[in-house]
Structure 1
Amino acid sequence: MNDVKRVLFEQIKNFGTIIRISKYEERATYQSHYLGLVWQFLNPAIQIGIYYLVFGIGVNRGRLMEGTPYIIWMLIGIIAWFFINNSLLGGSNSIYSKVGMVSKMKFPVSILPTVNIASNFVSYRAMMGVLMASMFIFKVYPTIYWLQYLYYFICMMAFLFAFGILNSTITVLVRDYHIMLQSVLRLLFYLSGAIWNFQTLIQGEEHRWFIRVLELNPIYYIIEGFRDSFLSKAWFFEKGTQTIFFWSIITLIMIVGSHLHMKFRARFVDFI
């Protein structure tokens, strides 16, 4: 637990540095593009349009999903997925790709996964604005359930930070891990509930065990939590088993990731 406390303290102590580096990363990524930072919004918007045409109109044929227009139901899930996917992949490569910065500047490298999360947050914030406007157009109005969005947002950030510390460390030690993670995330996209409603897709009591397994996926827990909030379906404390399992996984990953990070980070440059 001392490793966890130290890593968390480094995030708090260097919060200003995290914000400054993330802003620099945003400008550096798109400085040679004519549209600049607009691509942070335009790129996911194009992908969302494609997924809606394929799954919303093609597969679902425009039907309502849980009493809500499919576009709204899908937006809630896929916006969260884009943020999670980009942060997991970027966080995994955050230390390895900054070998020059790590070797020449003195600051705790544990902040690099957090820098990546902060950089991706700009795009997430813009897409959430689109979601809010879309819900207003389709007459999905705020209710008291919306208050728990803050809880699930904290869940998402805790998930990304814990896995960011673990993944970034393992990627330095085993370079193939980053490539494997890309493949795993492609699979998880279809198992996270971002575009599929497994409750209606998988019928029959003999398959209920499969849904129960899918519900233990931390990403599924987060995405469904956002839908529970915005579509006013349920409170988070009504999912006792899933909630306990989610925070148990996050705690375990945080302990293991922090321990590995503190154990090897003095030799990161040598490994790279």
Structure 2
Amino acid sequence: MFSLLRECKKKHKMILELARADFRKRFVGSYFGAVWMFIQPLVTIAIYAFIFGPYGFKSSPPVPNVSYTLWLIPGIVPWFFFSEIMNMNTGILQEYHYLVKKVVFPIELLPIIKLLSCLLVHGFFLLVMFLFYLFSGKFPKLSWLQVLYYSFATACFGLGLSYFTSAISVFFKDMQQIVGIVLQFGIWMVPIMYDELLFTNKAPILKIFFKLNPFYYIVAGYRDSMITGNFFFERPGLSLYFWAVTLLLLFVGLRFFRSLRPHFSDVL
């Protein structure tokens, strides 16, 4: 991990240039360009807000004086970021196969390059989230800045998993489809669209089940930052658990990636 950090510092200009090029490359030949990247997530938010909001099932968020939409957005925005990291990074070695075959290129940087490209899109959604809260009459809080910390936490968690999925997908082509299915199922394993009390009131043991999912920490953190104003150090147990799992994923994922690296060029 320390060698990876040194490599990032040494080649930071190249990483930023490749990330910008990757972001532009997505929209080559498209009339509306980057607009398509934002339409689907915004439509998804609108659908869930309609179904579970005042015109649908009228779900009540667990925070008083907050509409369902205001409660939904901080939960679903980091999920969009995470799911894009996983979808984009899983097939990155096939996408950049010409760089993988170059002996001198440190291919461990490829998931980081794609992650930075995804971060540009995430920055737009953070801006939309802030504007939505302002137009809804919410006064800015110091805790809003904390979403940058939780964005970093999401990026680290996604990167650790990406080293596994991207390495496996070279040898097992169906990995991309499996990741997509797991993400569709995984969004319901975190209380993003629903209040966890719907289940924990009936079965208190499920509270432990929810918190064992590292992404629970991120969703709760975004909502703490935007709604309640709580800071991450007010969840010391969850913070330590999340970073222990994430750092372990990064360490083991990078070791796994590097152990398979000599065989990538032969298969690709």
Q: TM-score, normalised by structure 1?
A: 0.89
- d(CA) in 1 for partners of 2:159 and 2:263? 22
- d(CA) in 2 for partners of 1:128 and 1:164? 23
2:18 corresponds to 1:27 = no
**Equivalent residue number for residue 157 of structure 2:** 159
Asked if structure 1 preserves the Cα contact closer than 8 Å seen for 2:200 and 2:207, the reply is no
2:226 corresponds to 1:230 = yes
Question: Tell me, what secondary structure is at the counterpart of 1:35?
Answer: coil
**Equivalent residue number for residue 143 of structure 2:** 145
**Equivalent residue number for residue 116 of structure 2:** 118
- d(CA) in 1 for partners of 2:244 and 2:266? 33
Q: 1:217 aligns with which of 192, 213, 225?
A: 213
Q: 1:105: Cα distance to partner?
A: 7.4
- d(CA) in 1 for partners of 2:68 and 2:191? 13
Asked if structure 2 preserves the Cα contact closer than 8 Å seen for 1:143 and 1:232, the reply is no
Counterpart of 1:251, as a letter, is: L
Cα RMSD of the aligned pairs, angstroms, is 2.1
Deviates more, 1:32-41 or 1:144-153: 144-153
Deviates more, 1:188-197 or 1:167-176: 167-176
- d(CA) in 2 for partners of 1:265 and 1:58? 52
**Equivalent residue number for residue 101 of structure 1:** 99
**Equivalent residue number for residue 169 of structure 1:** 167
**Equivalent residue number for residue 269 of structure 1:** 265
- d(CA) in 2 for partners of 1:148 and 1:119? 21
Q: 1:108: Cα distance to partner?
A: 0.9
- d(CA) in 2 for partners of 1:133 and 1:59? 25
**Equivalent residue number for residue 69 of structure 1:** 67
Q: 1:207 aligns with which of 183, 203, 207?
A: 203
Deviates more, 1:16-25 or 1:218-227: 16-25
Q: 1:62: Cα distance to partner?
A: 6.6
Question: Tell me, what secondary structure is at the counterpart of 1:40?
Answer: helix
2:87 corresponds to 1:89 = yes
Asked if structure 2 preserves the Cα contact closer than 8 Å seen for 1:146 and 1:230, the reply is yes
Q: Which runs of 5+ in 2 are unaligned?
A: none
Asked if structure 1 preserves the Cα contact closer than 8 Å seen for 2:75 and 2:192, the reply is yes
Q: Which runs of 5+ in 1 are unaligned?
A: none
Counterpart of 1:271, as a letter, is: V
Q: 1:8: Cα distance to partner?
A: 2.5
Question: Tell me, what secondary structure is at the counterpart of 1:95?
Answer: helix
For residues 206-262 of structure 1, give each alpha carbon's deviation from its aligned partner in whole angstroms, at most 9, with x where no partner exists. Answer: 511112211221112111101011112533223232222211111211121111122
- d(CA) in 2 for partners of 1:59 and 1:214? 26
Between the two proteins, what is the percent identity of the paired residues?
25
Asked if structure 2 preserves the Cα contact closer than 8 Å seen for 1:192 and 1:217, the reply is yes
- d(CA) in 1 for partners of 2:147 and 2:34? 27
